[in-house]
Structure 1
């Protein structure tokens, strides 16, 4: 039997514990609602990890990886009060996993974990310098630089959503006119509510655009233009060969990319622009599972390197 990995995906409303291999293939998966308290949720997580380890393939599990919304400290393995997880204050989840199960464990924020997954198995496979943008409910970036995940001094690298693109505009990441305000599900919904006078999700805006609604197409063109502004900064600053964009862009990029590319052509240095491709994420709806498994795989590779 090949080496196996356990991944843990912790979200604000639901969690998943996944048993998988390095292909990657998900062999078993348990999903459950995130409980009101961290202790309840952690006990449910630990119970499912134990069930996988006690199963017929448990002896082949080499590492445990955790993907969770930030802020967190990947070096100490601590979850630091994420806004979508009230009460999760200074939770030393990696140490608790190591002590309980005697296996190496690691944690990354969800953007970094998704970047690792797309780099190892998805659209970024084979690249050395790649940026992954979430473009989901919010906007965050995971950075692969010179063939390694780059997280900065204290895991704050990649907070691209906080960049200000305009003096005013939809609020994202607590800042009016931010990259996240223009390029996220929440930001698109805010623009739609202002224009249509009613609550609309980003998915509904994309559906309206697909039906030819001029106002919806205008919202997405505006989002695409600001996407190009944000990407131009990243291209000139980091000189990536590949930018992989997930979620909303992967579903309706045809309404976003033309405006984005027009801005990129005008704003970036040609030498950096010419070597950079913009592509949708490839791992689809399973990216959450693959993300936490990729953290486990990176943990195993680090352990192996340290033993070599």
Structure 2
């Protein structure tokens, strides 16, 4: 049996970046770097990767970054940050700054696509018996709800791309009757991110969502909006699992129960695989917990190593 490969991973978030070393899927070292300016943050990450590689060479690098990102390898700005509300980061060359210091295969994707890939291979999607129909999952969605709302999809073992990557946070959903909350998205107002993200909850409630009691009736509108999002995913992608993570998703099991009930009610029996008996296995927290993100970078590194066309 061949030894597990030595891999490098970077999980770049809006407030912090993790640079990690892994042996196979086992993370053996991880360093946190605050996300400040691109030059400072990416420069520190690149220096660490170079130092580690000189001591023990890496076989591949996976970069899982917040977006939006240019992921078309034929584009002149491949691996760059597209227009983003994060000050100073529009146009930043994420891929070039990090992959450029290592003479090994490398790839980049969104952090949520990476997390979806990790969950499909090693988490909820690999649990088999809980997936509708049995066996490993062939279609899975990973959602993180916190400062914003991001979603990634893993389909038949690969992250989903098209013209770019999914931007589920900005879909428009049918509002709950009588809900007049305007939303907080600077682009769209009441898109799903503008309705249920952490800042949206603080605006709805007047205080952060984690200070609101579980039985507060105002959660009904939040659950309605989240259920609209989940229903859209199930109707368009026929996903076997919709994993809801992040501070809003993981921190409130009571909210997920409300969402599950509303998904079943809103779909009204149209999807035969979504029932009161199955919804608990379909809409659930990530099986990998807070390790889905870093393991997403590892999964991307493994894909880079397996892909002979990396350069």
Q: TM-score, normalised by structure 2?
A: 0.81
Partner of 1:32, secondary structure, is strand
Q: Which structure 1 residue ranges, 4+ long, deviate > 6 Å from structure 2? A: none
Give the equivalent residue in structure 2 for 1:188.
201
1:202 lines up with 2:209 in the alignment = yes
- 1:218-275 CA-partner distances (Å, limit 9, x unpaired): 2333211221122112211211111111122222122332344234333252325257
Once the two structures are superposed, what CA deviation does each residue of 1:108-149 show, in whole Å capped at 9, x if it has no partner?
A: 122212212222222222210111111222222111223321
- RMSD, aligned CA: 2.4
1:245 alignment partner, SS class = strand
Larger relative helix fraction: 1
Structure 1 spans left out of the alignment, 5+ residues: 194-199
Pairing 1:281–2:286 present: yes
Whether contact under 8 Å (2:256, 2:284) holds in the other structure is no
Contact 1:72 1:80 in 2 (8 A): yes
Alignment partner of 1:103 is 2:116 = no
In structure 1, distance between residues paired with 2:292 and 2:143: 13
2:168 corresponds to which residue? 159
The answer on whether the counterparts of 2:173 and 2:228 sit within 8 Å (CA) in structure 1 is no
In 2: Cα distance, 1:228 partner to 1:92 partner: 36
Q: Distance in 1 between matches of 2:21 and 2:6?
A: 7
Matched, 1:241 2:246: no
Question: How many Å separate the matches in 2 of 1:64 and 1:184?
Answer: 31
Contact 1:63 1:104 in 2 (8 A): yes
Separation (CA, whole Å) in 1 of partners of 2:174 and 2:44 = 42
For 2:53, the equivalent position in structure 1 comes to 53
Gaps of 5+ in 2: 73-77, 127-135
Deviation at 1:49, TM superposition (A): 0.4
Work out the CA distance in 2 between the residues paired with 1:18 and 1:38: 18
Q: Match of 2:251?
A: 251
Q: Which secondary structure does the structure 2 equivalent of 1:132 belong to?
A: strand
User: Cα distance, 1:27 vs. partner?
Assistant: 0.5
Q: Is the CA contact (8 Å cut-off) linking 1:172 and 1:179 kept in structure 2? A: no
Contact 2:138 2:156 in 1 (8 A): yes
Report the TM-score when normalising by structure 1.
0.82
Secondary structure of the 2:21 match is strand
Displacement after TM superposition at 1:70 (Å): 1.0
1:292 aligns with 2:297: yes
Distance 1:128 1:32, change over 3 A: same
Would the alpha carbon gap of residues 143 and 96 (structure 1) be closer, same or farther in structure 2, given more than 3 Å must change?
same
Cross-structure match for 2:230: 231
- Of 101-110 and 171-180, deviating more is 171-180
Which residue in 1 is equivalent to 2:69? 72
CA contact (8 A) 1:115 1:144 kept: yes
Q: Does 2:185 align with 1:173? A: yes
Question: Shift in Å at residue 291 of structure 1?
Answer: 2.5
Which position in structure 2 is the counterpart of 1:127? Answer: 137
- 1:172 is displaced (CA, Å) by 4.2
- Report SS of the residue matched to 2:162: coil
Alignment length, in residue pairs? 284
